[in-house]
Amino acid sequence: MSKIPAPPASSKKSKVVGGNINNDNNIASTFNNFNTGFLKLPDEQSSHRRLLADELKTNGRRRNNSSSPSPDINNADEDDEDAEEEEDEIGDLRVGKLRTNGNRLMFNNNNSNSLRPNLLEEGENGLTNGCSSDMMDISDDDGREGWDNKMQFFMGVISYAVGFGNVWRFPFLLQKNGGGAFLIPYLIMMVIEGVPLFLIELGIGQKLRTGPVGVWNAIHPYLGGVGVSAVIVSYLVSLYYNVILTWVFYYLFKSFSFELPWINCPKLANGSNITECVESSTPANYFWNREAINTSETIGDFGGFTWHMTFCLVFAWFVIYLCVMRGIKSSGKVMYLTATFPYFVLTAFMFRSILLPGATDGLRYMLTPDLSRLWEPDVWLDAATQIFYSMGLGFGGLIAFASYNPVKNNCKRDVLKMSLANLLTSLYTAFVIFCVLGYMGRKNFNSCIEKDMSLILKVAPKLYKNMEEINGNITLEEFTFYLQTDFRDSKFSEIINHPSYKKCELGDIISEAAEGTGLAFVVFTEAISQFPFPPFWAILFFLMLMMLGLGSMFGTLEGVITSLNDAKMIKLSQPMLSLLICASSCLIGLVFTTQAGQYWVSMFDHFAGTYALMCVAFFEVVAVIYVYGCDNFVRDLQYMCDEQIGNFWKITWRFISPVIMFVIFVASIFKSFTKVPEYSAYHASTTHQHLEPYPTWAFFIAFGMY
């Protein structure tokens, strides 16, 4: 009979039942009845299993037919030798290592880190059948690099999850969806959707210790597409996400000057101001649209490269390459800075902005709940969608980070801590942002009122001779009251009906400035120009954005690089593979540095990271809970975390989370087809943004990213 090769020596051995000869047949029977486990064994592994079972049965019969050994003082030693022999016989299946065969993950018998339950271990109730994950023989001696310590992992995940979305998307959703009322659906969705999926990604990555592609391929070969989809989404998102980081670098470089370039309008050679800047809402708005990105008026009008942005893009990818070229050994050190520095800057801005006039107006607008909005489906859809961006779910970065953890690590506790930290960060950021928005809103509101007051001189010149006389007879508050209370019989009725009249609403003015890139590169830069010594605050602000962008890019690219490394699809060293990915991304990203680049960033943000992301997350839950099995996964977590997994997790995984994600996906698709997608285009003639529908050719590119 063929000899089953023995495994290499391992420093970590489970207690194997083998001291009693009569147990051999039970062992083989138990082994043959093994139907569950983390991985479905390939055909050659099944043959190996049957061969082992036959070997054990034959050995059992041979030993039972032999004469009983005479009592001897060396009997115990012989029993020990038998136990070691049995250990050798089962070693090949107990110690496996993932390898790739085409697109399918297999096992090499040269690794002590088993990805399946140990088949012949002795538990509290005797011999186990391999179904209980808390009896698994799992070690970390697989040659895979790991985090230096637990804090480095924590900082890495926080740095990855907390990004640009926490700075401008969350505050925008707050003001859009009823202020403080939005926190109710956001918290509910976080508990029943975000946190459970967070634990699935960390748990599955920590258990299998491989990248996003290898994880799903290991559960079932047909699920490999889930990992591939996650890698593609991560790659597409990294293309445009790094362009935002490019803009940050440009503004950071421009901040190193005694006078910020966006404070005043530039002048022509004859000393006069540029007309477009004068007619623009603010010099900061002109600087963004004309000096920084030099935007065109349509998405199809590329207009050539904006060269200073092209150089900044190359520089941004070079910085990222230096940080990821050696995996977590290089990026892990940087993450201490990218995770903590933004909090110091936010705290500095908090103390400064809370003292600004109008800060309380912004906070009041942020926290005042409009509970009637809770009946609108879009509010719940926005809350559920924001969870994906805020926690970094579905990209594969969390799986990649968790794969560098030791197997015996309480990932459940990690999930709860990091989810709470992410929530508090979003609220803290929104607090600071709305203080600044309140200040800018009050400033623009007063300016709006003064423009309306100047109408009195045109409409009713006999009432007042000049603005000083108006200000002496009526205050801004009184004037606002009369305008907002439409007295048709009063002298103010003519002003209200005048075509130049603009109704001034503080809430509307605040809400107009609370969305997207305009918040960071227009509104915040304008607010900073009102601070004492503006360059100092500008440098701090853009350094904070730089750290947020770098941290998120590390996690996004880690999912891509780890997957390619683990699958051995491209046989290159870590530095060369990182160089290939960064260089190719930089070349493709050149389209974002054209004059139409802003519109392409908007299109990628809307299509590349929305629908595909939700689809990936849905199939992740289905793969783990319904293909692998919820009970098996719970046992794995209990083994790794050394604590019980309650019914809350099982119910949300089995029913609530998949239903919610399916509803979100269907609702998002339905919403996109019932309304023609549009983008915000800048028109130089009016110096304002206008919504334009995407051209037909852009639809094919956009839907190709679904």
What CA–CA distance (Å, rounded) separates 214 from 104? 9
What CA–CA distance (Å, rounded) separates 61 from 59? 6
Q: Map 397-452 to HEC letters.
A: HHHHHHCCCCCCCCHHHHHHHHHHHHHHHHHHHHHHHHHHHHHHHHHHHHHHHHHH
What CA–CA distance (Å, rounded) separates 139 from 264? 63
Quote the Cα angle for 472-473-476, to 5°: 85
What CA–CA distance (Å, rounded) separates 32 from 47? 11
Contact between residue 550 and residue 338 where contact means Cβ atoms under 8 Å apart: yes
Question: Tokens at residue 610, please?
Answer: 């929305």
**Which residue ranges are tagged as binding site for Na(+)?**
161-162, 166, 390, 422, 548, 552
Residue 136's nearest CA partner among 113, 169, 153 is 113
What CA–CA distance (Å, rounded) separates 35 from 129? 9
Contact between residue 155 and residue 167 where contact means Cβ atoms under 8 Å apart: no
What CA–CA distance (Å, rounded) separates 266 from 353? 28
Cross-strand pairs, 315: none
Residue type, 48: H
Residue type, 628: Y
Reduced to 3 states, what is the DSSP secondary structure of residue 682? strand
**Which residue ranges are tagged as binding site?**
161-162, 166, 390, 422, 548, 552
What CA–CA distance (Å, rounded) separates 585 from 569? 18
What CA–CA distance (Å, rounded) separates 30 from 533? 75
Query: Distance of alpha carbon 304 from its chain centroid, rounded?
Result: 32
For residue 693, the tally of other CB atoms under 10 A from its CB is 11
Q: What is the DSSP string of 10-36?
A: -S----B--SSTTHHHHHHHHHHT---
